[in-house]
Amino acid sequence: MSLNILFNRCKFYVVKNAPKILTAVGIISYAGAVLTTVKSTQKIEAKLANDVDKLRALKDDLKNKEAINMGEIVVKDVKREMLKTSLHAVGTTIKVYLPTLILFTTGTTCILSASSIMYKRQAALTAAYGALNTTFAKYRERVAEKYGVEEERAIRQGAELVKDPKTGEVTYQQTQDVIDTDYSIIYDDTCERWQDGQNLSCQASYLEYIQAQLQQRLEDNGYLFLEDVYDALGVNKLMLDDRKLQAMKVVGWLFDADKHPSFISFGLRDKLNNKTDNYYKCIRDGRNCFFIELNPEGDILTGNDGRPTYMDYFKKKN
């Protein structure tokens, strides 16, 4: 292995793990700062003993009015000497506690740098995901225009249309894994809000109720995060991948009745007839479920690309 390859691998490892390395160095520096503080405190009294005694003697000279009146003590000279002694004491203190200051400064710098790197990476990841989601949404629109909404949904969900011969209810039977490239989630019996024993139509009505409640919350507060929606649905976050766990903290909706009216959608209603369609209901792995497609606006925490943040739309309740 050449030195150039070895250097590049080491560089890649350091850059990749920079936040962890900086955080570890910061913690070690803080621990070292505490240790050196204890040792320096034990030394400082002996180091400053002469300066302290000298300052006490000079203060006593200033109190000796008789010697001052007789000219034996010059007040100006005493004050000048007190200043020199005080500066010397300060210098000695700095020298003694210098290792502590260096370690504390190093630890703070490392922790802040690690936080900055993680913040930039999260912002970059959110921006990249937003661009990918926008591109995918436009691609879906083109497919829907050419093949129809139902076919597009079937292709994306990896499902086939199945009709119940007894009830005539039409559902999508999952035949392969759902193409999960957006903020979609599977709402099934793993979610706390799932109502056991209820048919799909009742479940759909309950989901619309939750959607309406979240819309009202959005309008009252002026903002809503993706995590709030997951909590309202009772989504088991242990089943979410790292991408969604990171996104739910920053992605969401903003609302202002005059400047920025918006709405939350679970993707349950047909845009043409505004009715809940049977083909939006799914059966996956032999269990009833719903394929919920959320429509967040993007990053509302940091406001990337010059967009407003949730604080710009925050409304205090009366």
Q: In this predicted model, what pLDDT tens digit does every residue of 127-147 receive, in sequence order?
A: 776 677 778 778 878 887 887
Ranges of beta strands (E only) in the chain are 159-163, 170-174, 185-187, 223-225, 251-254, 281-284, 287-292, 298-299
Spatial separation of the C-alpha atoms in residues 190 and 257, rounded to whole Å: 36
pLDDT, one tens digit per residue, over 73-90 is: 777 887 888 888 888 888
Q: Structural domain boundaries of the chain?
A: 3-126, 164-313
Is this model's pTM higher than 0.85 or not?
no
pLDDT of residue 179: 46
Residues 6+ apart with CB under 8 A from 89: 48, 51, 52, 55
Residue 215, pLDDT score: 93
Q: What are phi and psi of 37, to 5 degrees?
A: -65, -45
Per-residue pLDDT at 127: 72
Length of the chain: 318
pLDDT in tens, 94-113: 888 888 899 999 999 999 98
Q: In the numeric block, which tokens belong to residue 299? A: 């990053």
Indicate the residue type of 146.
K
